[in-house]
Structure 1
Amino acid sequence: MIYIHDTTEFYSEVPSVVTLGKFDGFHRGHQKLLREVKKLQEEQGLRGIVFTISSEKLPVLLSTDEKRWMVEQYGIDCMIRCPFVPEILSMDPETFVSEILIKKLQANYIVVGTDFRFGHQRTGDVRLLGALQQEYGFTLRVMEKECLGEREISSTYVKEALAGADMELVTELLGYPYLVKGTVQHGRKLGRKLGMPTVNLIPEDKKLLPPPGVYFSRTVCEGRTYFGMTNVGYKPTVDGSFLGAETYLFGTNEDMYEKELEVSLMKFRRQERKFDSVEELKAQMQKDIQAGKEYFRV
């Protein structure tokens, strides 16, 4: 996949099908857009492009690397991560269509959701795009929202479920379990001293995590799948300041330092707490491990 980022000097030398948005979380609604892009990419012989404008300040469900990885899984030809700069943000909607979508990206098809907004102060919408089709020679595809029950699926809905540690609902909204991807870092090795070695991931600063606590998790490393449990948050027992995901894998003591991991948080087990002794901590961890093995049936 072609990946263009942190520059406004992007273009497509061949006709394309473009979808646009923040794509935070790649929930089921986003996936609907990508499936349509992939379909048109193959049927019409066009370059499939996912165009997103990055914001360096807002917390996100997917890190930059995770978002890129998700687009790659759909077999899309190209992803453009445009910087959050005035020259793009100040464009009126029609100028954005003519200068970016038509001149730079040669868009034959534009695929968006019903609530898509664009241009200066978000004044452009699907109604305007529809009115510009004939003049600029593109075809607009507007995809209806995905819903869970009576409520529309959105990144806001996912964030609410994540903040409530409702990982089963998060999975329903996303269509996949909540992911934390990264390279295994060296920790304080307390788990190893307790006879329960862990692997540690430190996500990007903007990456949203569920509330601190213990979660049953599934980990993929180099194509192999492991079940286990993940502690999210600070480690109050050892007076540490590490914030991230620390995972104990059932049935393996494999050295995974500096390897790439994909940790999926499946179910909330309990809140993080401070223990009066190491023995009390070990006893609770054994209870958590037993509950985790029963959950995964391993």
Structure 2
Amino acid sequence: MWRLPGKTLPPKLLSCKRAMATHSLSTAACLIIGDEVLNGKIREANSYTFAKFCFEIGLDLQRIEVIGDEEDEIVEACQRMAKKYDFVVTSGGIGPTHDDITYQSVAKAFDLPLALHDETVQRMKRMGRRKIDPNDKAAVAAQMRMATLPYGSTPAESDYLYTLENSWVPVVCVASKIHILPGIPQLFNGLLFGLRQHILPRVPPSQRKHRLLVTTNKMESEMAPFLTELQSRVNDKGIKIGSYPHMSAGINTVSIIGKEEYLEYMRGLVREVEDTLEGSEISVEDEAKLSLRS
């Protein structure tokens, strides 16, 4: 059931069921919202989590953007990203305080009203760790802000999904593109990876990518001419060649990223890089350990 201030909804809308959008997914973007990120109060980690999520399931993450708690900026960014990308995640701004304005801003961006969502309210009452004194009207009203969500009459306008079993917080999807998540990393991670089972079937398997890695003692300036020529050779296949220094270990890593259909071709590139740069292939897991040391 929904409650819109000053409006009575038709019964079929009060009880309508929602389903996540079904359009296929190729591109992605991440919108980090919060003054605390821009003023250095917190270290932002959710975009990194989202980047790993996208790579693992085959989404092409094309943009990460950080903006403050400003309604006009949120509206503009959401409208722009919904036009350009298939799957957009926002992080932050859905708490109970005055500066938490993501729900209202996204609703405004797509000309939707806000409404109290009874299912979220009930889950909040059952699963909330701390109970608010019901006589504290101001605190109750602030808490209800977190259950006052963009309302659309069709799934294309607004969808709602609870992807984390032990949390009352929903993933709110607006305009089939914008997925609103909290900024708290623990919640963000749980809700995002809970979305995986719903998102993965909509990502064509042909889009999924592999990352192959070669370590070498060569300096980047020594590698540069060969890697430049190699990149020009594989541009038509969409393969990306990169080099990354691990200063504490005194070695560099060459990265080769491409789609599933070119995996065998990429394995040939690994052998060429090993021979040319006197290097050796390394696993993603072992390279991650090097990154932690750098």
TM-score by length of 2: 0.29
More helix by share: 2
